[in-house]
Chain A
Amino acid sequence: MTYPENYKYTKEHEWVLIEGDKGTIGITDHAQSELGDIVFVDLPKPGAAINKGQTFGSVESVKAVSDIYAPVSGEVLEINTGLSATPEKLNSDPHGEAWLIKVKLAKPGEINELLAPADYQKYIGA
C-alpha cells in the first residue's frame, strides 16, 4: 500500500488531505493492518467540533478497540455514512473510499505540525 504524497500523517496513524480550508481525515493502512478485520466505526455528527490531538471517534476490529485522534482542529462537515454498513472498507481502501470525516479547518497552521509521507513511513518502519 502506498502513502499518498499529498496527505499529511500523525504518529497516532491518522491521515488528513487538505483542500483549501477543508480537510478529509482517515486512518492509515498501517493502522488498519495492525487492527485486523474492522467491524465497527463510531464517528461524530456533522456540526461537532474536533480538536487536534483529541479523540473524535473509534474503530473496532474483531479483537481490538481503538480511539481515533484528530490530526487537525475544525468543525465536522460530513461523515462517511457508508462505513456503518461496510466497515470492512477500512481494511481494503483506508486511504481512499474509506475516509472517515470531512472538516472545515479552524487552525490551518496546524498542518505544519504533521508528518510528511516519508517521515511517517520511517516512523512506522515501512
Chain B
Amino acid sequence: MPRISIQGKKPSLTPGAAAENRHNICVFNKKQRPAAAIQDQPTSLENASKSLEKSLLTPGKLAKTTPNATLKITSPWMPDTTELKRTPLFETHLASKAKMVDFGGWNMPVQYSSIIEEHNAVRTAVGLFDVSHMGEIEVRGPQALSLVNYVATNNAAKLKPWQAHYSALLYEHGGVVDDILVHRLPDGNMFLCVNASNQEKDFEHIKQVVGKSFDAEVDFASDRYAQIAMQGPKALATLQKLTKTNLSEIKYYWFADGAVGGTPARIARTGYTGEDGFEIYIAPGEAPGIWNELLKAGEEFAIRPCGLGARNTLRLEAAMALYGHELTASINPLEANLGWIVKMDKGDFVGRAALEKAQTAGLTRGLVGFEMKERGIGRDGYEVWIEGKPAGWVTSGGPSPTLNKNIGLCFLPAAKALPDIAIQVIIRNTPVEAVTVPAPFYKRAKA
C-alpha cells in the first residue's frame, strides 16, 4: 500500500494567536461538578440554544452562542465569531443549513435536520461527519514507537504496521490528559489522532514529558489534515465507490493509505458511533469536494450529513468515553473502565506508578451505565443518589434514539458501580428513579 503524503494548510482557519489556546480549558475538578451543574439549568426557551451548546461543551467553560447566516439568536452575550475556529467544511455546513454551535472553540454543526434522524441513518444505513476539528500529531524517527509507548497507556509495540488502537495519555498522577488513537506506519513512524480541544495541550504534554530522551520528532500536524468520518452498515459500500483500495481487506482498527475521489487519503476502519465505518484523513483543501462526492455516493442508501448531536447520542449508546465527561485530569482510566487500554506489564510509562498505587489501595469509584425508570432524563452533571444520599454524578446522559430509553453513564462508589443498583438521578431538585445497567447499551450485530 502506498504511503500518502499530504501537503498544504487548512484554508479557512480563522483564529488569531489568542484563539489558539482559549479552548484549551478542559480540566476541572469532578468533585465540584454536580452542584455547579445543577445551577446550570437553562431558565427559558430563550436559553434553549445556549444549553444545546452547553450540553455538548466541556463542562466548566462558558457556552457561547454562534451567530451565523442560518441561526439567529438574540442573546446578551453574542461572542466575537472570529474567535471560533472553522474546519475546511465550514462554508459547506452553512450552505447545508446546518445549525452551528461553539464546540470547544470550534464552530461546528450540531445538526443538519434532526439529531434523531441523523442518528438512525448511521444505525441503519450511513452517515457522514465532519470531524476535521480533531487533531493530528505525527511522531517520526527511530524511536517514534518507543516514545509513544512511553507517553501512552496501551502497548504500541503490539501494533503491526497499518494497525491502530485506542490509548490514553496520562499525567504522572494518573489523571487523563486525553484519549487518543494510535496508528503505526510501516516505516516505524506513528500517527496520532487526538481530541480537538486537547490538541495543543497533548502536543505540549508529549514534548514536555519526553524531552530529548527519545530519538524522535513530534510534529503538530493538525493543519495538514481534514478528517471525515463515514459511519454505518452501508459505509463500506458507499466509500468503495470512490476508492480503489479494497476496503473489505481493512480489518476493524486497521488502516491503509490510498486515494478517495482521486485525492490521497488515509483510510482507517475506526469510528466513534458503535457502527462499522471509516475515518478518512485528507488534505484540507480537498475536503469540500470529497464531502460532496461522498454524499453523492451514498444517495442510494439515503446517506445523511450528521452533526455533533448525533455523534454524541451514537457514542453514548456505545458507551464510548468523551473527554471532559467520562475522562478528565482528575479521573484515572481504571476508574473509567479503560483498564483494557492500560498495559501495566509493558514497561514504564507516564502515569504507571500512580495507577499501580491506585490499584494497590483499591479503586474508590467506578463508571457504570444507568437507565431511567421513571419519566425524566438524567443529563450530564446531574447528581446521583443511592438510598437518599449523594453518591455520584452523571458524566453523560440523554435519550437513546435506538433503544427509546433515557440512558447515561455515571460515577458511583466502586462497591456500587455494578448493574442492578437502584439509584436516583436528581433532576431539578427532584430524585427520579433509575437503575444501573451494563454498558454498552448498544452493540451492533457482528457481520
Contact = CB atoms under 8 A, between A and B. Distances in A.
Contacts of A64: 42, 48-49, 51-52, 55
Interface residues of A, number: 32
B309 A62 contact: yes
B45 A62 contact: no
A64 B74 CA distance: 17
B45 A66 contact: yes
Interface string B357-377: 000000000000000000111
Interface in A8-29: 11-14, 27-28
A51 interface: no
B25 interface: no
B377 A35 contact: no
B74 A35 contact: no
Nearest to B404: A39
Nearest to A62: B115
Given A14-B45, A34-B48, A67-B44, A39 B56 contact: no
Contacts of A65: 41-42, 51, 377, 379
Contact of A13 (B46, B110, B398): B46
Contacts of A36: 52, 99, 110-111, 114-115, 309
Contact of A63 (B46, B47, B56): B56
Interface in B97-145: 99, 110-111, 114-116
A80 to B, nearest CB: 15
B182 to A, nearest CB: 31
B115 A40 contact: no
Say which size band chain B's interface belongs to. Answer: 20 to 34
Given A40-B375, A63-B52, A35 B45 contact: yes
A51 to B, nearest CB: 15
Contact of A62 (B73, B99, B376, B398): B398
Given A66-B45, A67-B45, A124 B52 contact: no
A54 to B, nearest CB: 11
A68 interface: yes
B32 interface: no
B72 interface: yes
Contacts of A63: 51-52, 55-56, 110, 115, 309, 312, 398
14 contacts: A12-B45, A12-B46, A35-B45, A36-B110, A36-B114, A37-B114, A40-B375, A59-B45, A61-B48, A62-B116, A63-B51, A63-B115, A67-B45, A124-B74
Given A64-B42, A64-B52, 6 more contacts: A34-B48, A40-B377, A62-B401, A63-B56, A64-B49, A65-B41
